[in-house]
Structure formats: C-alpha cells, structure tokens
Chain A
Amino acid sequence: MSPEALELELDRLHPAAFGWAIACCAGDRAAAEDALQASYLKILDGQARFDGRASFRTWLFAVVRNTAAELRRRAALRRLLPLAVLGATPDGRPDPATVLARADATRRLTAALAALPRRQREVLHLVFYQDLTIAEAAEVAGVSLGTARTHYERGKAALKKLLKDEPE
C-alpha cells in the first residue's frame, strides 16, 4: 500500500480509531490521542505493516490496541520510578474534562464500562460501538473466537446489570 493510500485509509477511519483509542485508554482522552499519534507514526514509518491478511480496519485497531498497551506499561513504569515526581503520567482513568463533557446517558455508560474487566470492555466496544462481528473483535483483541464470545456474553450481562443498578 502506497503512503498516500495509507493516509487516505487512516483519514477515513480516524473517528473510529479515536473512539477505539479512548476505549483502549479507559476513557482517558489525552492518553488516547498519544496512543493514536504513536500508532500513526508506527504505520507511516513502516514499523507496523499491513499484510492484507485481515481487513485494514481490524489491523489498524490491533495496532492501536498494542500501542496503547505499550504506553500504559511505560506509564506504569514511570509511576514506579522516582522520576514520576517530575511530571504527571496518565493512570488509566478518564480525565475530568472528558467526564464533564459527556451527556448523562453516555456518562452512565462509560462509568459502567469502566467497571468491567478490560477484555470484556474491549469486546463490547468493538461489537456495539464499532459494529464489528465477534470474530473480528476476537482478531483485534488477539483472542480466540470462543474466548471473545465468552467475554461478549459475560460483559453484556454485567453491563446490563450495572446500567440497571445505577440510578438515572
């Protein structure tokens, strides 16, 4: 794929990729922007190559997911080191500005999603938010179809319960 074609595809999928990056960063918008920028750099520099085995969207989401995980690990390491006092690092929680900007219904949804285990949250996001099939979600999350299906069913039940329990 030529660099121009690559940029066009990234441009087309940018809003969806941003939403996915937010989900990968547990609602932290600043961390999501970092992860997305780092992912685009990886792709444009050729560190991550699209080999055509999956759809471009599935592949891009996998790159974003892995990059967000790398940044999360680095941030956790920085928090452990004494250098952490030099600057605040994202701690994997939604930033207050993002929480305030949300409408009530979506705030309840994001709060309920934040209470779910990461895998369940990811699979639910990919299926309901990104309209991927469970098989595609499994590919992005790097798990088997059976595992993704289990995360989907358990996550959906837990999310439904959380939304029902929480007062409106």
Chain B
Amino acid sequence: MTERNDHDLGEQFHALRREDAAAAAPFHATLAAARARRAPPPGRRTRWLAAAAAAVAGVALALLFTRPDRGGGVTIDLATVRWKAPTDFLLALPGEELLRAVPELGRPRSTRDRRIP
C-alpha cells in the first residue's frame, strides 16, 4: 500500500470524524444524562425504601404474634422417641449372641464355629 493510499484513507477517516463531531451531543448534556442515570429520583427511592421497610416490619410482627410457643422452643418427649440409624445393620455381626450371653460350661453352643480351637 502506498503512502498516497494511506493519505486517502486518512482523509476518509477525518471526514467521518467531522460527521461524528457534528452529531455528538454537547459534553454537558452527556454529563447531565450520566448524572441523571446515577441518581434515581429521590421520591422514587424513598418510596421503595418505605415499602421495603414496611414489608420487613410486617413479616417480623407476623412472626412475633403467630408463634404458638413464644418462650421455650420445641419440646421433645425422649421417652417416646425411637430412632434407628440407616447404618445400624452394619452392627449386626454373625455370632454376636455369644457376646451377649453368659457361657454355660459343658454345653457347646450350636452356632459356635468348631474349627476354632
């Protein structure tokens, strides 16, 4: 590409620049629009804050007055509660009755493994 072509290209870009400059909004208008974007109208913001505060207060009051037991939390009767862990079956071992019973002398248990001396 020759320098002449570069010059022509530059001229075309400069024409584009002149067009853009003529169409550009003034700086102060752009700045004012930018500042207007940043700050929502105070009335609108206040209304939003008031609505949010009222909603939070309403939920707090509803919780305060609708709880059945205000003082002590939930009571659980431990005597009636029975819970079994899902892994309890792992504790069931073959021959575990030997561990739970008193051995009787002279009477071999039927479940005892005779290979063990």
Contact = CB atoms under 8 A, between A and B. Distances in A.
Interface residues of B, number: 27
A160 B20 contact: no
Contacts of B30: 14, 18, 33, 36-37, 40
Interface string B13-52: 1111101110111111011011101100000000000000
Contacts of B58: none
Contacts of A65: none
A33 B37 CA distance: 12
Contact of A18 (B15, B24, B31, B34): B24
Contacts of A101: 19, 23
A105 B15 contact: yes
Contacts of B27: 10-11, 14
Interface in A85-113: 101-103, 105-106, 109-110
Contacts of B14: 128-129
A15 B21 contact: yes
B16 A110 contact: yes
A139 interface: no
A116 B34 CA distance: 31
Interface string A1-25: 0000001001100111011001000
Contact of B33 (A29, A37, A110, A125): A37
Contact of B12 (A37, A38, A109, A157): A109
Interface of A: 7, 10-11, 14-16, 18-19, 22, 29, 33, 36-38, 40-41, 44-45, 101-103, 105-106, 109-110, 124-125, 128-129, 156-157, 159-160, 163
Interface of B: 1, 5-6, 9-10, 12-17, 19-21, 23-28, 30-31, 33-35, 37-38
8 contacts: A10-B27, A11-B27, A44-B31, A103-B15, A105-B12, A106-B19, A109-B12, A163-B12
